[in-house]
Amino acid sequence: MRFTTTTTLSTLSLFVALPTLSTATPCKANEVGVGYTYVTNGQTPQGAGVLWIQPTIFATDCGILSSSHKSHYCDMGWDDPSGIVACDKDRKATGVVLNGRHYGNCYTPASWICAAWLWGKASAEMCCIRDV
C-alpha cells in the first residue's frame, strides 16, 4: 500500500511530538480493546500511517486477532501484506496502540522507540511503551 506525502508527514509529526520515554513495561498477551493499527509500507520503513481503528486482540507471537479478520502473522519480511500489523525483520510488531497503550519493540534508550518504528530497526521483545 502506498501512502501520500501528506499522510507520511502527518504521521512523522505525530511521532516527533511524542514525549521522551524513560521506561518500558512488558506487554500482556491477549488484551482486547479498540486500537489504532500502524503499518509501514515495506519499501520505505520510515513511512508509516494509521489505517483504521478496530477491535483488536494483541498476541505475543506477532499476530493480531480481531472480530473481522483472521490471525495475521509477521512472516513476510518487513510487513504483513494484510496491512493488519507491521513487523520488523525479526517478526516483531512495530506499532500498535491498544487499550490506551503504545506497543512496540523494546529499544535502548527508550526515548529512541519512535526512531525504531520510523526506521524499522530490529530489536528485542514486545513491550508497552507508554499510556495514551
Query: Could you give the CA distance from residue 131 to residue 89 in angstroms, rounded to a whole number?
Result: 26
Confidence class for position 29, pLDDT limits 50, 70, 90 = very low
Residue 124 and residue 106 in contact, taking contact as beta carbons nearer than 8 Å: yes
Domain spans, the chain? 5-16+28-120
Alpha helices by DSSP H, listed for the chain, are 5-17, 113-119
Name the pLDDT band for 88 (thresholds 50, 70, 90). very low
Global pTM exceeds 0.75 = no
pLDDT, one tens digit per residue, over 38-67 is 333 333 333 333 333 333 333 333 333 332
User: What CA–CA distance (Å, rounded) separates 24 from 78?
Assistant: 23
Q: What is the pLDDT of residue 49?
A: 38
